[in-house]
Structure 1
Amino acid sequence: MTVVVSKRDVGVCRQEFEIEVPASEVDAEYLRVARDYRRRARIDGFRKGKAPLDLVRQRFAGSIGEDVSERLAPKYWQRASEEDGVQAMLPPSVAPVQAAPGQPLRFTVTVDVEPEVEIGDSRSFELPQPGTEPSEAEVDELLEQVRLQRSTWVPVDRAAARGDRVRGRIHRAAMPGFVPEAAAEDEDHDGANDHRGPATHDIDLELGDERAWPELTDNLTGLSAGQKSDFERTETEDDVERQRGYEIEVDEVLERKLPDVDDDWASGLAATIETVDDLRRQLGDQVQAQKVEQAGQQRTDALLDQLRDRYPVTLPEAVVEREALQMARSYANNLARQGFDFERQQLPWEQLMEEIRPQAEKRAHASFLLDRIARDDGVEATAEDLERALEIMARARNTNRGRLRRELERDGGLEMLRVELRRDRTVQALLAANTPPEEASAPADEPAAEGED
Structure 2
Amino acid sequence: MKSAVETLNPTRVRLTVEVPFEELKPSLDAAYKKINQQLSIPGFRKGKVPARVIDQRVGRGAVLEEAVNDALPKIYQDAVNEGELSPLGQPEVDITELKDGELLAFTAEVDIRPELEIPDYSGIEVTVDAVEVSDEDVAEALDQLRDRFATTSVVERAAAEGDVVKLDLEARVDGELLDDGVAKGVDYTIGSGRLLDGIDEAVTGLEAGAEATFASELKGGSAAGREAQVTVRVETVSARELPELDDEFAQLASEFDTLDELRADSRERLARQKQYEQATSAQEKVLEELLELVEVPIPEKLLQDEVETRRHNLVNHQLGQLGMDLDAYLKMQEKTAEEFDAELKEQAEKGIRTQFVLDEIAKREQLSVSQEELTEHLMRRAQSSGMSPDQFAKAVVEGGQVPMLVGEVSRGKALATVVESVKVVDTNGEPVELDDEDETAETVEAATEAAETTESTEAPAAEGDKDEAGEAKSNS
TM-score, normalised with respect to structure 2 = 0.74
1:127 match: secondary structure? strand
- The reply on whether 1:16 has 2:14 as its aligned counterpart is yes
Task: Measure how far apart 1:424 and its partner are.
Answer: 1.3
| In 2, Cα distance between equivalents of 1:331 and 1:235 | 21
Conserved in 2, the CA contact under 8 Å of 1:170 and 1:249?
A: yes
2:199 maps to 1:211: no
CA contact (8 A) 2:2 2:19 kept: no
1:323 and 2:313 matched: no
What is residue 429 of structure 1 aligned with on the other side?
417
Moved more, 211-220 or 365-374: 211-220
Equivalent residues of 1:173, 1:197 under 8 A apart: no
CA distance in 2, matches of 1:261, 1:121: 55
Distance 1:416 1:214, change over 3 A: closer
Q: Would you say the 8 A contact 2:27–2:68 is kept in 1?
A: no
Map residues 267-286 of structure 1 onto 2, 5 A cutoff: 267-270=251-254, 272-286=255-269
Note the C-alpha offset of 1:196.
Answer: 8.3
C-alpha contact 2:159 2:205 (8 A) present in aligned 1: yes
What CA distance in whole angstroms lies between the structure 1 residues aligned with 2:228 and 2:45? 82
Q: How does 1:303-318 map to 2 (within 5 A)?
A: 303-318=286-301
Could you tell me whether the CA contact under 8 Å between 2:246 and 2:259 is conserved in 1? yes
Within 5 Å, which residues of 2 pair with 1:245-284? 246=231, 250-270=234-254, 272-284=255-267
Aligned pair in 2 of structure 1 residues 125, 91: CA closer, same or farther (>3 Å)?
Answer: farther
Supply the AA of the counterpart residue of 1:323. Answer: E
Shift of 1:147: 1.0
Q: Give yes or no for contact 2:133–2:270 (8 Å, CA) kept in 1.
A: yes
Question: Structure 2: how far apart are the matches of 1:323 and 1:416?
Answer: 15
| 1: CA distance, partners of 2:181 / 2:116 | 66
Question: Counterpart in 2 of 1:412?
Answer: 400
For the structure 1 residues 172 and 87, does the alpha-carbon distance in structure 2 shift closer, same or farther, using more than 3 Å as the test?
closer
Larger mean Cα displacement after TM superposition, 277-286 or 295-304: 277-286
Q: Which runs of 5+ in 1 are unaligned?
A: 179-193, 442-453
Alignment check: 8 A CA contact 1:26 1:102 kept: no
2:127 aligned partner = 128
Q: 1:163·1:207 contact (CA, 8 Å) conserved in 2?
A: yes
Label 1:96 to 1:128 Cα distance change in 2 as closer, same or farther (>3 A). farther
Secondary structure of 2:88's aligned partner: coil
Equivalence map 1:56-135=2 (5 Å) = 56-60=54-58, 61-95=60-94, 100-135=99-134
Closer, same or farther in 2 for the Cα pair 1:394/1:29, shift >3 Å?
same
Out of 346, 358, 364, the residue aligned to residue 352 of structure 2 is: 364
User: What corresponds to 1:445 in structure 2?
Assistant: none
Deviations 1:290-341 (A, max 9, x none): 22221222112112211111012220122223433444455568738xx926
Larger radius of gyration: 1
Match of 1:233 among 215, 235, 245: 215
Q: How far apart in 2 are the matches of 1:418 and 1:15?
A: 27
SS in 2 for 1:408: helix
The structural deviation recorded for 1:109 is 0.7
Per-residue CA distance 1:235-263 (angstroms, 9 max, x = gap): 699899888474x5545433221111111
Match of 1:447 in 2: none
Aligned to 2:468: none
Is contact 2:172-2:228 (8 Å) kept? no
Once the two structures are TM-superposed, the CA of residue 77 in structure 1 deviates from its matched residue by: 2.4
CA distance in 1, matches of 2:429, 2:141: 34
How big is the shift at 1:413? 1.3
1:221 aligned onto 2:220: no
- Tell me if 1:3 matches 2:7: no
Q: 1:250/1:80 Cα in 2 relative to 1: closer, same or farther (>3 Å)?
A: closer
* Residue type at the aligned position of 1:82: N
Find out whether 1:290 has 2:279 as its counterpart: no
CA distance in 1, matches of 2:181, 2:32: 75
Task: Quote how far apart the aligned CAs of 1:416 are.
Answer: 1.4
**Paired residues of 2:6 and 2:15 also in contact (CA < 8 A):** yes
Higher RCO structure (Cα 8 Å, ≥6 apart): 2
Distance in 2 of aligned mates of 1:112 and 1:357: 19
The residue type paired with residue 163 of structure 2 is D
Give the AA of the match of 1:257: E
For 1:383, give the aligned amino acid.
Answer: Q
Residue 292 of structure 2 aligns to a residue whose secondary structure is helix
Q: Does 1:301 align with 2:301?
A: no
In the TM superposition, what whole-angstrom CA distance separates every residue of 1:111-161 from its partner, at most 9, and x where no partner exists?
A: 112234311313332133432343322222111100111111234454332
> What number of residue pairs does the alignment pair up?
416
Matched letter for residue 238 of structure 2: L
The offset of 1:212, in angstroms, is: 3.1
**Where do 5+ consecutive residues of structure 2 fail to align?**
331-336, 431-476
Secondary structure of 1:294 counterpart: helix
Distance in 2 between residues matched to 1:243 and 1:340, nearest whole Å: 21
Which one-letter code corresponds to 1:364 in the other structure? I
What amino acid is the match of 1:89?
L
SS of 1:89's equivalent in the other structure is: strand
Q: 1:175 to 1:7 in 2, by over 3 A?
A: closer
1:409 to 1:238, Cα distance in 2 relative to 1, 3 A = closer
CA distance in 2, matches of 1:360, 1:244: 39
Is the 2:97–2:103 contact (alpha carbons within 8 Å) kept by the matching residues of 1?
A: no
Deviation, structure 1 residue 220: 2.7
How far apart, in 2, do the equivalents of 1:412 and 1:269 lie?
45
Distance 1:202 1:37 in 2: 68
Cα RMSD of the aligned pairs, angstroms, is: 3.8
Identity over aligned pairs, percent: 25
Q: Distance in 1 between matches of 2:367 and 2:181?
A: 65
